[in-house]
Chain A
Amino acid sequence: MKSYSVVGKSVERTDARVKVTGSARYAGDLIAPGMLHGKLLRSPLAHARILNIDTSRARALPGVRAVITGKDFPGIPFGTRPDIRDQLPMPITKVHHFGEGVTAVAAVDEDTAEEALDLITVDYEELPVVLTAQDALAPNAPFVNEFKNSNIAYFSDFVFGDVDKGFKEAEYIKEETFSSQRVSVGFIEPHACLAEVDATGRILLQGSKQSPYITWRHMCRAMDIPLSKVRMVNPFVGGGFSGKHDPFDVDFSAVKLAQITGKPVKIVLNYDEVLAAYRQRNAMDAKLKIGVKKNGVITALRAENILEGGPISGIGPFNIYFFGAFLNVPYKIPAIEYHGKLVYSNRAPCGTVRGQEIVLAQFALDSLLHMVGEDLGIDPVEMRLINAVTDNWRCANGLVVDVSGLPQCIEKSAQKIGWKESRKSRPAGRGIGFSCASHPSGTRLGGHFGSSVMLKLLEDGKVIVTHGATELGQGANTVFCQMAAEELGLPFEDILQGVSDSDTAILDCGMFGDRATYWDGNATIIAARDLKKQLAEIVAGDLDADPDELEFENRRVFVRGNPKWGMDWLLAVRKAYYEQGAPLYGRGNWAATDIDIVDWKTGKGNLAHGLDFIASAIDIEVDKETGQVTLLRSVHGDDAGQPINPAMLEGQVNGGSAHMAGHALFEESLYDEKGRILNHTWRDYKQPTALDVPESIVEHVHTHDPYGPFGAKGAGEASSCSTIAAIANGIYDAIGVRIKDLPLTPEKILQALKTKEGK
């Protein structure tokens, strides 16, 4: 295996010091001369017709510069898919959920803006609310979304392989239902942005955006503005986890208010607003039926799934699609039938959360697998090893697994957690839960889907990396700098991170699906090779060599096989600048053009390269008196190909797992019967803290992906997908009760114990 100088090393993050010292500037920190402050008035009702909005008293308040409503926008709907455009910048005819922004104010300071909100009167006609999937699908249910004459926002029906044959061949069949709650996304920084309009009318939007390209495109459509009239610059972003892809009323309002006033407008939400009215994970109701041989080999799977997703579809169609399509991994299932529905409701809009709805699919599938193993007397570790996908496996839907380290992941996590020892004896109330998962390194969408990177060679020999991905805290900037340094033969310190600016970078289609390391990483390597090629052509004559013979290593350019016959990198750079007048850019772009574009009709195709794998084992203690669950220790056998930065990779794995521990155990957005959210403050909505996170160990299973940069795969979402089932299985292992309805609260555990004991 090739040894690397920078890749594979846990170098310090490019953003570590500015973040931990508090000097990183996020959207809320931005200031512009003459800046106004914006605030939004929110709906107190979950579903109501807007009869009238009176803003006259607010407009008359000294210090108020503008007030807008939905009618100030062109009324053009937008949406993730062109066949489901069901969103407006702000509502015009009716409100769809509690806390929806109805009007926005710009004023000279925040207090004045707040005061102005109190002076706005909105007359509503209350409408019946749709809260659950059952409500949405009931006969005569009121329609939630005015652009759709149905509460079914989207559906998928897939059949992969011969399902009937698979069930006929099965020697044991089990069917179970699983459900999951609404949870908040969980980023730290609330939505915020600063919008400015220059003298030509061109807009500059600096926001806390996960996928600035998506915001850019949607915003231009919904506001009827050419793309070239909007510039997107991303400041530091305090986490995204799929909750910051789209433009929100925050962004639309800031831009519109800036257009009207001619002044910069900043809007920063408080977190109560985020918890009440912005993206959450869908609630799920799923039924899975599995057929297996007596030896544990899976023969068929049938799955039904309904996601309740709030009043817009958003990226919900992807959630439905992914749930079904990725039932094909991480286990060998020769035949799968899937029926999924996304339904509208009057709860907060959903996007998704880290791991997308593979998280929910895997919770259901891996819980069921454990139950089947239990019924057949097959050890949980063995059950997973029997069915784990292996190298060059073609799934029932056509997805090809090039390299699978899953069997080693299972063995490593079992060994490290002490599985065999625990079967001999363990304290009362203690158990170990297992689960596996896989996640792709970015799928191929229609439209713009490639990644591009630019390397600018500076006169002092340093190189600036500019890319279209977004640094959300996941470490993308650092790994691209590592890859550029490795390929250019420079130390990590010589690579600098440029600004994320749509004027200078070609923005990626979005930051999702574990795609950045893989796609932009490959583009980084190509850009570095382009830069080397240009520099080699400039210096080859001085070295009496062919440009193709030159190598770059240790800050030098030299003839292959003769390191002494060369010149320092800096001298080569100066020759380019001073002798050739050729300041250089290296350009690279990459896209997996050999994989299939997503087929929404069939779900079939080779959807992605770089499937990363994980096997999670969690040691759990359950207090049978209180029902309290304590996560003591977790071990994640993780195959992310070649780790680019092992410490950051471990951070991603542990972060994904910690994140989903909250989803598994206690997070839930609660609503009353009128659709009003009940726990939209940090006092009432609990997320995991350091006190809830177990000791975590990541066991790297080092594989080499044939398409990944330096053999790397994506990372960060697989552990989200494995954790919930591991916890559910661990609770069962500890106290013998199975809970299939998330979250796994102490109340449910105590009730299940009482039922088990016949009380």
Chain B
Amino acid sequence: MMSQKMVEGLVGVFVLAAILALLVLALKVSGLTSFFPGEGFMVTAYFDEAGQLKVRAPVKVAGVQVGEVKSVELDPTTFRALVKMQINKKYNDIPDDSSASIMTAGLLGDNYIAITPMYSKTALANGSQIQYTQPAIILEKLIGQLIYKIGNSGKEEQHEKI
């Protein structure tokens, strides 16, 4: 039989492991809150349309992930979507006149933010705002426009025939 102290120590480690697992489940799996701010700087951007953009969606430059979306909120005065994103501090030389657009991974995939670098000498820093943005493309709107155009072009052809 092991000594009582040894048993108590092992049970303590067991309980600690379970609490750790609960923390992982709460923070990492259900995303309750994030206690540990990652190392990086915050950048904001206003979009006319955020689409299906979610918190923790990737922020990419040339397809390489450089950060993630921290929050998507509605600006109460301009009624545009205010997106806050955190960019890894090792990418601290992205020009500040770069443009941000919300793209879709694949036809039905998830949204992510693509930053296209421009040529300014000053770089994005903590708290800076990206001026040039492109809204998310909504597939339904696109189809609606397409159908409208096809419908119209059909009518014109009919008119021409008559």
Bind each other: no
B interface with A by C-beta (< 8 Å):
none
